[in-house]
Structure 1
Amino acid sequence: MSRPQCPRCQRPQSHCLCALIPHLPSHTRVLVLQHPSEAGHALNTARLAALGLQNAELKVGEVFTELAAWLSEPGYDACLLFPGPQAQALRPYAEGQRPKLLVVPDGTWRKARKLLHLNPLLAALPRVCLAQVAPSTYRLRKAPAADALSTLEAVTQALSVLEAPASFEALLKPFDALIDRQIAAMGESTYQRNHAR
């Protein structure tokens, strides 16, 4: 029999994270496009990002038929947060600059690239990336590279650059608690054996 689940954060009721999830305003609009394989994952950081920001939305799928409408939302310049040779480093907004609609694919690198392949409008967006990446605190997933981040960490760092000096660190509170709880549940020796760097 499955444990009762919080309908909002989708964690077991006994481990609900809602009290730690902020409700932060941002000039930037965030649209997270999540590959279906991530939706049921216990460490669903994209969901935490969407819940923690007032101006964010999470869509789950592989082919997004309404993408054109989402990308043409008035008052925003759409761009894709995804590294690559053409990606421009994010900088703080200039005076009077229109805010960005930051589109963030969520999934493994392979699945994120598949989302771009299946949605040509997504692949055609101007790309942006982080000029400097603070180290990830995602201690439970093996990263393909030293500068790889979870979706929540990438969104937090991107907003902190764009909207400096505003801070979005509060977004990471439920994430840190989630990781601490997962490590406690598996036991320190199991964590050290399988995950410690």
Structure 2
Amino acid sequence: MCLIQHLNESSHAKGTARIAQLSLKNLRTIQLGDREPFTPPENDSDFWCNPVLIYPNSENRDIAELVGTSPRPLVVLDGTWRKSKAMLLSSPYLQSLPKYSFETERPSRYRIRKASSPDFLSTLESIVAILETLEGTGNDYAQMLEVMDWMVTTQLGFINSTNP
């Protein structure tokens, strides 16, 4: 899996991608600035053979269709909704990838930033949902969500103590 992260997210104390980066040994991270079009690194052509973009859209194919097929590199965008959309629109390469999305019954546990819709998830929650869909729930990806819960509770404690 490759996480294409907006540059502003990389140093964000409340970002959930860092938990995924520390937890998943095969997660690659590439950072992009504003309006910087993404192109795959030339020295990593094996990974970039036949990737798919996981991006929410009702017209995208369901990621469950990939279960039982040959593994394909997964690309996930990390940024605010506005920034992730801008990253997609500024990159003809990303736009050309087959796009998949997923449905989840789980509401977001990430209560720090306001989501545009109740079914929008944090980057980490999305990664966990993707991996559980493709690999099943026996891999204990939920532990990453427990770390996120601790981070959210801690951050909200700081916020509430400075804004009584």
TM-score band w.r.t. shorter chain: 0.7 to 0.9
Larger Rg belongs to: 1
Answer yes or no: is 1:47 the counterpart of 2:21.
no
Quickly say closer, same or farther: Cα 1:34–1:151, change in 2 above 3 A: same
RMSD of the TM alignment (CA)?
Answer: 2.5
Q: What is the CA-CA distance between 1:122 and the residue it aligns to?
A: 0.7
Alignment of 1:91-106 (within 5 A): 91=64, 93-94=67-68, 97-106=69-78
Q: What is the CA-CA distance between 1:55 and the residue it aligns to?
A: 1.2
Question: Residues of 2 paired with 1:116 and 1:65: CA distance?
Answer: 9
Question: Residues of 1 paired with 2:88 and 2:44: CA distance?
Answer: 14
Larger relative contact order, structure 1 or 2 (CA cutoff 8 Å, min sep 6): 2
Answer yes or no: is 1:81 the counterpart of 2:54.
yes
Q: Which deviations, in whole Å up to 9, do the C-alpha atoms of 1:19-78 show, x marking residues without a partner? A: xxxxxxxxxxx1011111212211121121122101101111133565164884259641
Q: What is the CA-CA distance between 1:162 and the residue it aligns to?
A: 0.5
Residue 157 of structure 1 aligns with which residue? Answer: 129
Contact 1:68 1:121 (C-alpha < 8 Å) held by counterparts? no
Quickly say closer, same or farther: Cα 1:189–1:47, change in 2 above 3 A: closer
Of residues 139, 154, 157, the one that matches 1:181 is 154
Give the match's secondary structure for 2:73: strand
Question: Residues of 1 paired with 2:107 and 2:23: CA distance?
Answer: 21
Q: What is the CA-CA distance between 1:189 and the residue it aligns to?
A: 9.8
Question: Residues of 1 paired with 2:104 and 2:56: CA distance?
Answer: 12
Of residues 97, 101, 124, the one that matches 1:129 is 101
Residue 56 of structure 1 aligns with which residue? Answer: 27
Q: Which deviations, in whole Å up to 9, do the C-alpha atoms of 1:107-153 show, x marking residues without a partner? A: 11111111112211111111111123411001111110011000000
Contact 2:52 2:75 (C-alpha < 8 Å) held by counterparts? yes
Amino acid at match of 2:97: L
Residue 36 of structure 1 aligns with which residue? Answer: 7
Question: Residues of 1 paired with 2:159 and 2:94: CA distance?
Answer: 38
Question: Residues of 2 paired with 1:70 and 1:33: CA distance?
Answer: 17
Count of aligned pairs between the two proteins? 160
Which consecutive residues of structure 2, in runs of 5 or more, have no partner in the other structure?
none
> Sequence identity of aligned pairs in percent?
31
Contact 2:37 2:92 (C-alpha < 8 Å) held by counterparts? no
Quickly say closer, same or farther: Cα 1:165–1:40, change in 2 above 3 A: closer
Contact 2:32 2:38 (C-alpha < 8 Å) held by counterparts? no
Which consecutive residues of structure 1, in runs of 5 or more, have no partner in the other structure?
1-29, 192-197
